[in-house]
């Protein structure tokens, strides 16, 4: 193999192992063994397990961000944007199962920091601008757009994590239900929502 081919082979092997066992559960010994090379070869190309992992995560993040950004930037009716975004994430999961498993295994959406949560935050920022324009047109307070952007993107991301293992129903059906909940909810937003059913002591 050329140096470039060996590097790609090591990345492929490592990607499978990280998806199976996570970062902590994978060792340089296992990477070398599965690639049928000696440990020094792994160190020569990446400097260690951390270096391999960093390259894999960066590639996955760039690919996922490109898919989601493409769905958001194409334009069109807001409902179609939500549809495309949901489908883009589910398609990425379907075609890059190992990659998505790596992202969410070591950086769950629920964590305040981490690669996947940071990516979701970036996408939410893009969605925020789209929602703010729609809120403005409908006389809703634009100051609440960041809240709804986080909720909308978070709902899609968490559903994607569930679908990573469930895989049923198909991605188009899951996307349709996501849009059903999110879009129909957005359609009926109240300008000044209030909680109901609070205990009498809390309401006074």
pLDDT digits (tens, 9 = 90+) for 146-165: 999 999 999 999 999 999 99
* pLDDT tens for each residue of 115-135: 788 888 889 998 998 899 889
Question: pTM for this one?
Answer: 0.84
- Average pLDDT score over the chain: 89
pLDDT of residue 113: 45
Q: Is the pLDDT of residue 196 over 70?
A: yes
Q: Is the pLDDT of residue 204 over 60?
A: no
pLDDT of residue 106: 62
Name the nearest CA neighbour of 162 among 53, 112, 89, 111. Answer: 89
Name the nearest CA neighbour of 64 among 104, 102, 84, 93. Answer: 93
Q: Rounded to an integer, what distance in angstroms lies between the CA atom of residue 156 and that of residue 163?
A: 10
Q: How far is CA 186 from the centre of its chain?
A: 22
Averaged pLDDT, 26-32: 96
Radius of gyration of the chain (CA): 21
Q: Rounded to an integer, what distance in angstroms lies between the CA atom of residue 85 and that of residue 175?
A: 9
Q: Rounded to an integer, what distance in angstroms lies between the CA atom of residue 98 and that of residue 18?
A: 8
pLDDT of residue 111: 44
Greater confidence (59 vs 111) lies with 59
Q: Is the pLDDT of residue 64 over 70?
A: yes
CATH for 57-188, options being 3.40.50.720, 1.10.357.10, 3.30.450.20, 3.40.1350.10: 1.10.357.10
- Going by pLDDT thresholds of 50, 70 and 90, the confidence category of residue 202 is low
Element (H, E) at 136: helix 115-137
Using N-to-C axis directions, what is the helix angle for 145-166 and 171-187, rounded to 10°? 160
Question: Vertex 166, ends 158 and 110: CA angle to 5°?
Answer: 20
Sign of the C-alpha dihedral, residues 50, 55, 58, 59? negative
In the three-class reduction of DSSP (H, G, I as helix; E, B as strand; rest coil), residue 111 is classed as coil
Question: Which of 39-43, 108-112, 115-119 shows the lowest per-residue confidence on average (mean pLDDT)?
Answer: 108-112
Is 160:89 a contact under the CB 8 Å cutoff?
A: yes
Q: List, in order, residues 6 or more apart from 22 with CB less than 8 Å away.
A: 105, 106
Question: Vertex 37, ends 34 and 42: CA angle to 5°?
Answer: 95
* pLDDT tens for each residue of 159-191: 999 999 999 999 999 999 999 999 999 889 999
């Amino acid at each position: 193999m050329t140096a470039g081919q060996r590097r790609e082979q090591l990345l492929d092997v490592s990607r499978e192992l990280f998806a199976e066992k996570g970062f902590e559960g994978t060792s340089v010994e296992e990477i070398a063994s599965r690639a049928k090379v000696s440990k020094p070869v792994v160190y020569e190309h990446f400097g260690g397990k951390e270096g391999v992992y960093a390259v894999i995560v960066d590639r996955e993040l760039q690919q996922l961000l490109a898919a989601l950004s493409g769905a958001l930037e194409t334009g069109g009716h807001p409902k179609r944007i939500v549809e495309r975004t949901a489908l883009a994430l589910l398609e990425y999961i379907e075609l890059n199962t190992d990659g998505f498993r790596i992202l969410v295994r070591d950086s769950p959406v629920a964590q305040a920091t981490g690669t996947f949560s940071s990516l979701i935050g970036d996408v939410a920022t893009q969605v925020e601008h789209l929602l703010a324009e729609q809120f403005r047109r409908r006389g809703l307070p634009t100051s609440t757009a960041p809240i709804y952007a986080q909720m909308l993107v978070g709902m899609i991301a968490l559903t994607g994590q569930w679908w990573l293992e469930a895989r049923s129903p198909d991605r188009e059906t899951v996307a349709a239900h996501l849009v059903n909940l999110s879009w129909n909810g957005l359609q009926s937003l109240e300008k000044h929502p209030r909680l109901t059913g609070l205990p009498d002591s809390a309401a006074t």
